[in-house]
Amino acid sequence: MSGSNGDAGTRRLDEAAGTGGGGGGAGFVEARGVELAFGRTPALRGADLAVGRGEIVAIMGPSGSGKSTLLHCLAGILVPDGGEVLFDGRRVDRMREPERSELRRDRFGFLFQFGQLVPELTAEENVAMPLLLSGTRRGPALAEARGWFARLGLDGLERRRSGELSGGQAQRVALARAMAGSPDVLFADEPTGALDSLTGEQVMELLVGTVRENGTTAVIVTHEARVAACADREVMVRDGRVTSPALGGSRT
């Protein structure tokens, strides 16, 4: 997915306000009665969650509660054993792997705890990767990638490799990569879990500011209350079920 970040952001902000097409204002990303087991061990036991277009939702819960598994089902990484997963009205759980792979490539962005940058590539090449995979030529892809370095306080680090970056710098590069293709949804799994408190706060401030500027929906898995406080709404997962309201209760 290539093109102007500004145009994409304007389009998604219009949609979030109800002036765009497709999917409506609520239930842009949904899990309905989702069940999933790893062997004989159940991870999700009928989980329900609805995330509105343009909303930032934090999924909290203790270790082993199923919160990351729920995110992976919503993102089309895992296929549930039962229930439904929908994105913009489409059944993700019924898609074949090539369709889900295309969805992840073109419509979703991902930010993981350790960034997972490709060590052989420079920072700007890492950021350009989603654009290159979507068919953008190398020159324009790198030019668009470089635009993110100033936005995220990374000027001068374009040619460095991951081993030459601090943890906070690497995570900001990973955030730039996740947002470079102007995704509809950002899925973030413990995005500050490997950072100290101050650096984590800086990364979360940049993450929230960036997704709001672009009108991107965000689903953030965390066990940290200070991270969840940055979201519009928090939900709790316990024993494979969402135990707090699945929709509504947004902060004002």
pLDDT band at 251 (very low <50, low <70, confident <90, very high): low
118-155: b or e for each residue (b if 16 or more CB lie within 10 Å)? eeeebbbbbbbbbbbeeebeeeebbebbbebbebbebe
Q: What is the mean pLDDT of residues 24-51?
A: 90
Q: What is the mean pLDDT of residues 39-65?
A: 95
CA–CA separation, 70 vs 75, rounded Å?
9
Q: Is residue 246 part of a domain?
A: no
Q: Is residue 247 part of a domain?
A: no
Predicted confidence at residue 17, as pLDDT, reads: 36
Q: Is residue 250 part of a domain?
A: no
Q: Is residue 248 part of a domain?
A: no
pTM: 0.85
Q: What is the mean pLDDT of residues 195-215?
A: 93
Q: Is the confidence at residue 69, as pLDDT, over 50?
A: yes
* Contact yes or no for 34/74 (Cβ under 8 A): no
Number of domains composing the chain: 1
**Domain of residue 186, residue span:** 5-240
Q: Is residue 20 part of a domain?
A: yes
Q: Is the confidence at residue 75, as pLDDT, over 70?
A: yes
Predicted confidence at residue 245, as pLDDT, reads: 53
pLDDT band at 5 (very low <50, low <70, confident <90, very high): very low
Q: Is residue 61 part of a domain?
A: yes
Q: What is the mean pLDDT of residues 36-51?
A: 96
CA–CA separation, 237 vs 136, rounded Å?
39
* Higher pLDDT among residues 193 and 217, named by residue: 217
pLDDT band at 27 (very low <50, low <70, confident <90, very high): confident
pLDDT tens digits, one per residue of 207-218: 999 999 999 999
Q: Is residue 251 part of a domain?
A: no
Residue 230: which CATH number?
A: 3.40.50.300
Q: Is the confidence at residue 71, as pLDDT, over 50?
A: yes
Q: Is residue 252 part of a domain?
A: no
pLDDT band at 13 (very low <50, low <70, confident <90, very high): very low
